[in-house]
Amino acid sequence: MKVAIYDTTLRDGTQGEGVSFSVADKLAVALKLDALGVDYIEGGWPGSNPRDAEFFERARTLELNHARLVAFGSTCHPRSRAEDDANLKALLEAETPVVTIFGKTWDLHVTKALGTTLENNLELIMASVAHLKSKGREVIYDAEHFFDGFTANPDYALETLLAAERAGADWIVLCDTNGGTLTSRLADVFASVKRAVARPLGIHAHNDSELAVANSIAAVERGATQVQGTINGYGERCGNANLCSVIPVLEVKLGHEAIGRERLSLLTHTSRFVAELANIPHGNHLPFVGHSAFAHKGGIHVSAVMKDPSTYEHVNPELTGNSRRVLVSDLSGRSNILYKAAEMGVDFTARAGKLETVVARIKELEHQGFQFEAAEGSLRLLMERALGNYQSPFVLGVYRVATERDSMGVLKSEATVSANVRGELIEATAEGCGPVHALDFALRRVLRKAFECVGGIHLTDYKVRVLDSNHATGARVRVLIDTSDDNQSWRTVGVSENILEASLQALEDAVNYKLLSEGGVCRNAPMNEGVVEEAHVI
Amino acid sequence: MKVAIYDTTLRDGTQGEGVSFSVADKLAVALKLDALGVDYIEGGWPGSNPRDAEFFERARTLELNHARLVAFGSTCHPRSRAEDDANLKALLEAETPVVTIFGKTWDLHVTKALGTTLENNLELIMASVAHLKSKGREVIYDAEHFFDGFTANPDYALETLLAAERAGADWIVLCDTNGGTLTSRLADVFASVKRAVARPLGIHAHNDSELAVANSIAAVERGATQVQGTINGYGERCGNANLCSVIPVLEVKLGHEAIGRERLSLLTHTSRFVAELANIPHGNHLPFVGHSAFAHKGGIHVSAVMKDPSTYEHVNPELTGNSRRVLVSDLSGRSNILYKAAEMGVDFTARAGKLETVVARIKELEHQGFQFEAAEGSLRLLMERALGNYQSPFVLGVYRVATERDSMGVLKSEATVSANVRGELIEATAEGCGPVHALDFALRRVLRKAFECVGGIHLTDYKVRVLDSNHATGARVRVLIDTSDDNQSWRTVGVSENILEASLQALEDAVNYKLLSEGGVCRNAPMNEGVVEEAHVI
């Protein structure tokens, strides 16, 4: 069965707190949704705000291969004639092939929010749909608050649908606007509407009870042939039905045709692309598309997945363009480490005893507060050192970091770091915005005197977490650092009661990782050059 | 109907990527879960790692009012006798009143992952359950992969449950371990198991298809009287069933007894508390407990909600301890502040102009990265200062913080802080485990010279978050500090590019809050006494 996918990321999705797209963003998202193979793209509510009006104007030249663009609005004003209604005019002026209008189902809303009679509301629905149909549009009728309305007054709720049907609406969509309807109830109501209405039906679910995906699927099982939702479930309050979960369930688990099996592998990319443009961190734990969706941590799980992925994976991650990951933590055993090692090209086969050493060392360090799950750079160093493949060519010595606010109120941070490189002592001093900044800068300044390639790396992220935080400032802290050069980036970790010591550990690992990956090719710089002046790169 | 709530945040929850609790965190979470009214708290897998072993040892002295502590593990090893099995021994040595063991249901897993015969697996289940029962434990049997196993071989899957039942298991819990089962299928299978098994049944659902909450609810509708899940849905891959959604659905929408209606209002607090300890940003869009769950943005929604909240809210936010928020308008800013002020007993009625000043100042500071939602101590000071009710009796002057590692490898941090107290300059120096510790200690040492009551306060929590973290160590940091005396505790905030400056701001507010709440009763200490020696209290 073909189930039409109706995306409202650009309209309902932008009602979500923290989600806001520029017009250029909206155009880029529309193209991406078209490539993904959705059937309808709801672009906005023309007339409600200038951004949406501009979008529809610029969207006229958008070349969509498959999707049909939709303008969204309400039925006409209670005291307007459909032909003269400003809202319907704006919808027609958007010049989209499809128009969706929502109308009132719930008697409470008709009298309280709309301020009109139940009879007049039916006339508004009919007149609005008929007017849009007379202008050649495909018309989708969204029955707002359908399930709450049906509970309050089932006969009237059904009447509103039949009014839209009589006026020629192409689709009737039942909305769980407040997101409070339970799945079993929604399925029952959907089935009884299906018996009463001949037009194709759709579902529009909100996630306020964490049931939006389940409710969308239940509606399809009761005959819905259109599902409305958003990428990543963005939307007002708790969001809309997440199309990134609905689509693979329809395609892979129910055997329906939604976007087509071959385009399913674009899903993960699309999900992350939309998150980037919305400037919202991509949800790690999102089903099907999240970075953690196929990540295995427990030791038992890992060894089973290595024998047969179907033991702990409900679908193949590649179907949706995602991939399997194995995490390392103190819950894990030998098999996680082996998997990680293989991934990094570290070979333990000839030295099984060393593997035990590494596993024991990781458990011990994690007990102290280290975390290697994210810090793969430090993990790699630990393995290579255990195997005798790497030894640091420098030893850090005395260091000193001072921050002061002087009598003029000026804040200053300065760090001095020394290192012993093959018997020679070198030292450098640097200032920074804060003590960590100064320390980072002094360390890289001292080491680039000896190793030229250190000049090519820079910090890209810095995270700090207080462990056992109820010990307050005497507690340990864990620092995670991201470092990049032109080709790659890596993450390292440090733990101490002293935040500067923890930072230095992570910084030291970051430099060692760079030296390790250069494999000795990192040319030694002349030892006696003066302190190289460089801009504050971070 | 009573539905038992089984929390596995401390075991399955910690399998989630990015979730990791210290032993002290786990103990604090257990107490919080007990206060919330959950029936079972699964603490970990003793023997699998040192952290869980330590947890169960320290948990023996934990005073739980309602919840029963649970140790988790597997059925005994295929080649062990139950009495001699290391895993079962570790479970008994945890000395918990309840033990949960999982066993294999799916024939594929029995032969592939466990490497034994179908018949032997049944014996392992029976022997393991019987052994634990013989030691007086309440035994919960988790049927791993139940739904997948039932699909592959329904007769055998059922046999495994009956084996556990015959051996005396108190509960039989059906697990959707891979999270791939659709709600309609799960409901059907659950109903047929219910007809075959007499013991009370439970459900353990994972969220890989975004259906974990729906599946848990569907199971209860088919007779489950125990739901296993985690706070905020933390857990391996895409997480477990989110108890923060399951519980209110059971209580409010289905009329069952889960934790009791009166404790439901602790849900939002518990959810945020657990997120804080896990140091994971609390999900804004989480149903029932998220900051955005009852936030209204669209203009139509806002005006309707102001007429009647039920128009766009499926439940009253206060039921779960959450609150309504109206986004966008300055009006909402004012009413929030007024609401907070009333809560704190600060009176703006006679001085409306001052309220505008406070609202504008808060917006400005929040734009800089301050956050007053958690830092009510700093918020209260800001209001009282705006009203002219409080002026700090001291001004901090020059300070200096130095950390060094000397040539013997010894790490030392020392801070010197000066303050002007009514024209007199005082100064003190202190050492600490790290620079923040030293700074805190020096500040309180200098101020207790002037204000005796400062000696009675201590730091109880310290958190730091890097804002705009992609600027790395040159980015701003926000520091949140909890301070307590014998009667109360309060939280203050500081923001700067320099972590020590941000810490000092928060520490300074913490002392001012103490002086404010003493209302001038804090007796001045003699000004010229020497530096008082005191133990490192933090």
Per-residue pLDDT of A417-467, as tens digits, reads 999 998 899 999 999 989 999 999 999 999 998 998 898 888 877 878 777
- CA quadruple B22, B27, B30, B36: dihedral sign: negative
pLDDT at A537: 23
Report the candidate in B105, B195, B517, B171 with the shortest Cα–Cα distance to residue B344.
Answer: B517
Token reading at A337: 């480490």
Q: How confident is the model at residue A531 (pLDDT cuts 50, 70, 90)?
A: very low
Partner-chain contact B314 A407, CB within 8 Å: no
d(Cα B204, Cα B42) in Å, to the nearest integer?
A: 13
- DSSP category for residue A266: G
The answer to whether the beta carbons of residues A210 and A242 sit under 8 Å apart is: no
Per-residue pLDDT of B335-358, as tens digits, reads 667 767 877 888 888 887 888 888
The answer to whether the beta carbons of residues A147 and A95 sit under 8 Å apart is: no
The answer to whether the beta carbons of residues A31 and A262 sit under 8 Å apart is: no
CB contacts, 8 Å: B327 with chain A: 17
Interface check A230 vs B, CB under 8 A: no
pLDDT exceeds cutoff 80 at B208: yes
Q: How confident is the model at residue A538 (pLDDT cuts 50, 70, 90)?
A: very low
ipTM of the complex: 0.73
Q: What is the 3-state secondary structure (H, E, C) of B134-168?
A: HCCCEEEEEEECHHHHHHHCHHHHHHHHHHHHHCC
DSSP, collapsed to helix, strand or coil, labels residue A328 as coil
Q: Count of CB atoms within 10 A of residue A528's CB?
A: 8
Average pLDDT of A476-484?
Answer: 86
CB contacts, 8 Å: B286 with chain A: 238
Nearest CA in chain A to B305: A113
Report the candidate in B474, B340, B530 with the shortest Cα–Cα distance to residue A435.
Answer: B474
Q: How confident is the model at residue A214 (pLDDT cuts 50, 70, 90)?
A: very high
Sheet (strand A458-466) strand order: A458-466, A477-484, A489-496
d(Cα B129, Cα B99) in Å, to the nearest integer?
A: 9
Interface check A295 vs B, CB under 8 A: yes
The answer to whether the beta carbons of residues B319 and B264 sit under 8 Å apart is: yes
d(Cα B93, Cα B57) in Å, to the nearest integer?
A: 9
Q: What would the DSSP string read from start to end of A411-456?
A: EEEEEEEEEEETTEEEEEEEEESSHHHHHHHHHHHHHHHHBGGGGG
- DSSP category for residue B399: E
Per-residue pLDDT of B87-107, as tens digits, reads 999 999 999 999 999 999 999
pLDDT at A528: 40
pLDDT at A4: 98
Report the candidate in A238, A256, A208 with the shortest Cα–Cα distance to residue A39.
Answer: A256
Would you give the end-to-end CA distance of chain B in angstroms? Answer: 48
pLDDT at A366: 79
Average pLDDT of A333-340?
Answer: 75
Q: What would the DSSP string read from start to end of B410-447?
A: -EEEEEEEEEEETTEEEEEEEEESSHHHHHHHHHHHHH
d(Cα A273, Cα B468) in Å, to the nearest integer?
A: 20
Identify the bridge partners of residue A131 per DSSP, sorted by sequence position. none
Report the candidate in B322, B206, B59 with the shortest Cα–Cα distance to residue A298.
Answer: B206
Residues in CB range of A461: below 8 A, 6 or more apart? A480, A481, A482, B469, B470, B472
Nearest CB among B50, B180, B434 relative to A314 is that of B180
Q: How far is CA A263 from CA A7, A62, A275, B443, in A?
A: 16, 21, 19, 62
Partner-chain contact B538 A496, CB within 8 Å: no
Nearest CB among A221, A304, A498 relative to B113 is that of A304
Q: Count of CB atoms within 10 A of residue A11's CB?
A: 23
pLDDT at B360: 82
Residue appearing with tokens 């005073």: B63
CB contacts, 8 Å: A365 with chain B: none
- Which pTM value belongs to this model? 0.73
Nearest CB among B184, B472, B538 relative to A538 is that of B472
The backbone torsions φ and ψ at residue B206, rounded to the nearest 5 degrees and listed phi first, read -110, 160
The answer to whether the beta carbons of residues A336 and A303 sit under 8 Å apart is: no
Token reading at A199: 């037009």
- Tell me how close the Cα of A398 comes to any Cα of chain B, in angstroms: 5
Q: Count of CB atoms within 10 A of residue B349's CB?
A: 9
Q: Count of CB atoms within 10 A of residue B456's CB?
A: 14
More confident residue, A433 or B256: B256
Asked which of A206-215, A478-487, B334-343 is least confident by mean pLDDT, the reply is B334-343
In the stretch 346-385 of chain A, residues with CB closer than 8 A to chain B read: 363, 366-367, 369, 371, 373-374
Partner-chain contact A435 B287, CB within 8 Å: no
Asked which of A470-474, B83-87, B381-385 is least confident by mean pLDDT, the reply is A470-474
Query: What is the Cα Rg of chain B in Å?
Result: 28
Average pLDDT of B424-449?
Answer: 93
Asked which of A209-213, A285-289, B255-259, B485-489 is least confident by mean pLDDT, the reply is B485-489
Per-residue pLDDT of A86-113, as tens digits, reads 999 999 999 999 999 999 999 988 988 7
pLDDT exceeds cutoff 50 at B219: yes
Average pLDDT of B324-332?
Answer: 55
Average pLDDT, chain B: 88
Average pLDDT of B412-435?
Answer: 94
- What burial class does residue A196 get, using C-beta atoms within 10 Å of its C-beta: 0-12 exposed, 13-18 middle, 19+ buried? exposed
Domains of chain A: 4-278 (3.20.20.70), 295-386 (no CATH), 394-537 (3.30.160.270)
Interface check B298 vs A, CB under 8 A: yes
The backbone torsions φ and ψ at residue A323, rounded to the nearest 5 degrees and listed phi first, read -145, 160
Q: How confident is the model at residue B425 (pLDDT cuts 50, 70, 90)?
A: very high
Interface test with B, best of A470, A478, A501, A534 (most B CBs within 10 A): A470
Average pLDDT of A108-122?
Answer: 90
Q: How confident is the model at residue A328 (pLDDT cuts 50, 70, 90)?
A: low
Interface test with B, best of A102, A252, A469 (most B CBs within 10 A): A469
pLDDT exceeds cutoff 80 at B363: no
d(Cα B191, Cα A221) in Å, to the nearest integer?
A: 19
d(Cα A433, Cα A446) in Å, to the nearest integer?
A: 19
pLDDT at A118: 97
Asked which of A88-102, A205-219, B146-160, B277-291 is least confident by mean pLDDT, the reply is B277-291
d(Cα B279, Cα A248) in Å, to the nearest integer?
A: 31
Asked which of A281-290, B196-205, B267-276, B467-476 is least confident by mean pLDDT, the reply is B467-476
Q: How confident is the model at residue B326 (pLDDT cuts 50, 70, 90)?
A: low
pLDDT exceeds cutoff 80 at B366: no
Report the candidate in A146, A164, A211, A204 with the shortest Cα–Cα distance to residue A183.
Answer: A211
